[in-house]
């Protein structure tokens, strides 16, 4: 959505109408959806929530609802929005209605529909000509713009930032801040924004949160323990470690696993040395974190930071937030992201409706469905273990091949847990971990600067694979991903049967038979 700054304009327009909310299937969009839902509930605005998984879904949903709605709100943190102008324009043209307005309001489409005026044929012809010219120019601009796809500020954070103008609507900024934090952490976990941006965004949110915390805690902590508290933490980068054992968490978080190279025997020994260096007995470290000795837990973070500096892991601690309510429930933002992502893409049951999973993931983010969140955490643990094992087997069997301008890896159908990796988010995570692991394990200097393309079987009956490309790993990368355009061009030139449906253009579906010629085309394109 291209509203620049003043959300007040948007909200006032929307306030008295019925709204259709089309939400993409990733955690940032979910968080923004939650914020908007809270707003709509408070002001009793009717809305329809439609989860969409790709451009086709988006257009179907739009066509279904177009009779009743005038303004579309699509939530996506990716700035590839202008394309939905096409949807507006195409189907209006089919119906032959007077849609001349839309060429004027390119970036803020409010598709006002007017009845076909029979007497205005000349006006129409003139307008159509102007429109064609405009469209040609637009295509040029869009091509340059979409060449590098990257993610703008997290949508939920944008929503939260405009909170100030919402204060007079009385929105509880605190709960919205929680969702903004989760959306931001999702971008960081799935590697969509560079580290610097994450840190600066965290600082902004921290200001909001501390302002609210100060307001509440003037007389000696008089707030009930049941109220939700958000606290700023400089916590460890180990995934889910509060809900798991410390040992498991170290083994299954990509940062530690790759630094120690835990797929080798030497790596395992190094891990044991590391634990011994810190003075943590193995028995303690292997039991559930909540039941660990409190004397050990007190200085755990500092002790780990000291030791990890010795072993070359400089960034073991990261600034993040934790949510606490009640005595038992405290979650870090990254825990919630992992849980929600695992629920969103769960392959537990065979005929799972994507809408079902979407609703489950949405529930997990709210405070009243703690059991959902806990089941999400369990699923996330399984997912992380699966990712780690797959990475280990890929590195050990050397199935990552250097194809020249990029690295390539194909997951065979018989690989365990391969069903998990037919989903885009899980596959992207696997890709990222694999690339880091590969960089740590290879000696070839040139290979360390290459991007990675990964393919995994998506649907065995239809014979399709899902292909994901991620940019090369580097300290100062701004995470711009050129694979979207590259995939499109390669598909065109070899006339492979591809589906560029996903909002993230670097993820596509491909027929398995066309895989080899697609790859060859890519190699020639990128070299």
- Minimum distance between the CB of residue 330 and other proteins, rounded to whole angstroms? 17
Residue among 175 and 278 whose Cβ is closer to other proteins: 175
Question: Residue 43 or residue 98: which is nearer to other proteins going by CB?
Answer: 43
CB of 363 to other proteins, least distance (A): 19
Task: Indicate the residue among 171 and 333 with the shorter CB distance to other proteins.
Answer: 171
What is the maximum span of the chain, computed from C-alpha positions, in angstroms?
87
> How large is the angle between the packed helices 354-364 and 27-43, nearest 10 degrees?
70
Q: CB 8 → other proteins: shortest distance, Å? A: 16
Q: How far is the CB of 245 from other proteins (least distance, A)?
A: 32
In 3D space, the residue among 178, 171, 184 whose CA is nearest the CA of residue 324 turns out to be 178
Distance in Å, CB of 327 to other proteins, minimum: 11
CB nearer to other proteins: pick between 224 and 398: 224
In angstroms, the CA 41 to CA 365 distance is 16
CB-facing half-sphere around the CA of 477: CA atoms within 13 A: 19
Q: Which is nearer to other proteins, 40 or 311 (CB)?
A: 40
Our CB check for other proteins shows the closer of 176 and 409 to be 176
3-state DSSP assignment of residue 21: strand
Return the number of the residue (44 or 295) whose C-beta is nearest other proteins: 44
Q: How many CB atoms lie within 10 A of CB 480?
A: 12
CB 210 within 8 A of CB 50: no
Smallest gap from Cβ 224 to other proteins, in A, equals 4
Q: What are 288's two structure tokens?
A: 């559930």
Residues 6+ apart with CB under 8 A from 369: 363
The interaxial angle of helices 173-189 and 195-216, nearest 10 deg, is: 160
Does residue 94 contact residue 63 with C-beta atoms inside 8 Å?
no
Q: Shortest approach of other proteins to residue 368 CB, angstroms?
A: 12
Residue number, 168 or 462, with CB nearest to other proteins = 168
- Contact, 345 vs 426, CB < 8 A? yes
Q: Which of 426, 327, 365 is nearest to 179 (CA)?
A: 365
Buried b (16+ CB within 10 A) or exposed e, 208-230: bbeebeeeeeeeeeeeeeeeebb
Token pair, residue 371, equals 């059991």
CB of 453 to other proteins, least distance (A): 47
CB of 174 to other proteins, least distance (A): 9
- Among 183, 4, 177, residue whose Cα is nearest residue 81: 4
Of 170 and 416, the one with the shorter C-beta distance to other proteins is 170
Name the token pair of 378.
């369990």
Range list of β-strands (E), 334-474:
401-402, 407-410, 452-459, 464-470
Nearer to other proteins among residue 224 and residue 295 (C-beta): 224
Binding stretches for other proteins (CB under 8 A): 41-44, 168, 170-172, 216, 219, 222-227
Residue 407 pairs in a beta bridge with: 402, 452
Contact 286, 278 (CB under 8 A): no
Nearest-approach distance from CB 217 to other proteins, in angstroms: 11
Measured torsion, CA atoms of residues 72, 76, 81, 83, in degrees rounded to the nearest 10:
-80
| Least distance to other proteins, CB of residue 219, Å | 7
Nearer to other proteins, 44 or 397 (CB): 44
Closer CB to other proteins, residue 167 or residue 282? Answer: 167
The least distance separating other proteins from the CB of residue 172, rounded to whole angstroms, comes to 5
Question: Where would I find the H helices in 162-240?
Answer: 163-166, 173-189, 195-216
Q: Which residue has the tokens 């560029």?
A: 500
- Structure token pair of residue 423: 């989903």
**Selection from 238, 270, 273 nearest residue 255 by Cα:** 238
């Amino acid at each position: 959505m291209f509203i620049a700054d003043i959300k007040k304009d948007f909200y006032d327009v929307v306030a008295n109408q019925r709204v259709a909310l089309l939400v993409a299937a990733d955690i940032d969009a979910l968080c923004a959806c939650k914020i908007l839902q809270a707003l709509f509930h408070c002001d009793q605005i009717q809305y329809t929530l439609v989860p969409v998984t790709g451009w086709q879904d988006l257009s179907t949903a739009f066509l279904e609802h177009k009779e009743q709605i005038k303004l579309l709100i699509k939530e996506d943190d990716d700035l590839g929005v202008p394309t939905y102008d096409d949807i507006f324009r195409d189907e209006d043209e089919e119906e032959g209605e007077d849609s001349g307005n839309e060429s004027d309001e390119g970036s803020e489409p409010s598709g006002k529909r007017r009845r076909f005026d029979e007497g205005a044929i000349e006006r129409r012809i003139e307008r159509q000509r102007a429109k064609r010219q405009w469209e040609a120019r637009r295509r040029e601009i869009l091509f340059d713009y979409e060449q590098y796809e990257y993610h703008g500020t997290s949508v939920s954070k944008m929503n939260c930032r405009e909170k100030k103008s919402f204060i007079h609507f009385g929105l509880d900024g605190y709960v919205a801040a929680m969702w903004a934090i989760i959306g931001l952490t999702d971008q960081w976990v799935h590697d969509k924004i560079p580290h610097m941006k994450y840190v600066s965004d965290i600082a902004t949110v921290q200001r909001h949160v501390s302002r609210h915390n100060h307001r509440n805690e003037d007389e000696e902590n008089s707030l009930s323990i049941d109220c939700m508290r958000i606290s700023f933490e400089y916590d460890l980068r180990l995934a889910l470690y509060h809900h798991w054992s410390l040992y498991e968490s170290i083994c299954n978080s990509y940062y530690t696993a790759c630094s120690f190279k835990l797929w080798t025997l030497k790596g395992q020994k190094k891990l044991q040395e590391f634990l011994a260096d810190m003075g943590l007995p193995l028995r303690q470290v292997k039991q559930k974190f909540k039941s660990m000795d409190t004397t050990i837990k007190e200085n755990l973070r500092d002790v780990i930071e000291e030791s990890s500096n010795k072993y070359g892991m400089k960034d073991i601690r990261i600034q993040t937030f934790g949510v606490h309510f009640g005595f038992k429930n405290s979650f870090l933002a990254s825990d919630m992201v992992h849980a929600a992502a695992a629920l969103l893409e769960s392959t537990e049951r065979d005929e799972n409706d994507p809408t079902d999973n979407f609703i489950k993931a949405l529930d997990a983010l709210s405070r009243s469905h703690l059991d959902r969140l806990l089941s999400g955490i369990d699923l996330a643990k399984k997912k992380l273990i699966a990712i780690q094992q797959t990475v280990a087997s890929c590195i050990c069997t050397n199935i990552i091949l250097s194809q020249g301008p990029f690295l390539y890896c194909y997951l065979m159908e018989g690989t365990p847990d391969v069903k998990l990796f037919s989903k885009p988010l899980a596959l992207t995570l696997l890709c990222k971990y694999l690339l880091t692991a590969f960089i740590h394990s290879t000696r070839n200097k040139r290979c360390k600067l290459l991007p990675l393309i990964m393919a995994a079987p998506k649907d065995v009956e239809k014979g399709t694979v899902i292909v994901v490309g991620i940019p090369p790993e580097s300290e100062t990368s701004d995470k711009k991903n050129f694979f979207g355009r590259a995939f499109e061009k390669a598909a065109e030139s070899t006339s492979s049967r591809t589906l560029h449906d996903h909002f993230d253009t670097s993820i596509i579906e491909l027929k398995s038979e066309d895989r080899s010629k697609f790859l060859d085309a890519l190699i020639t394109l990128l070299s």
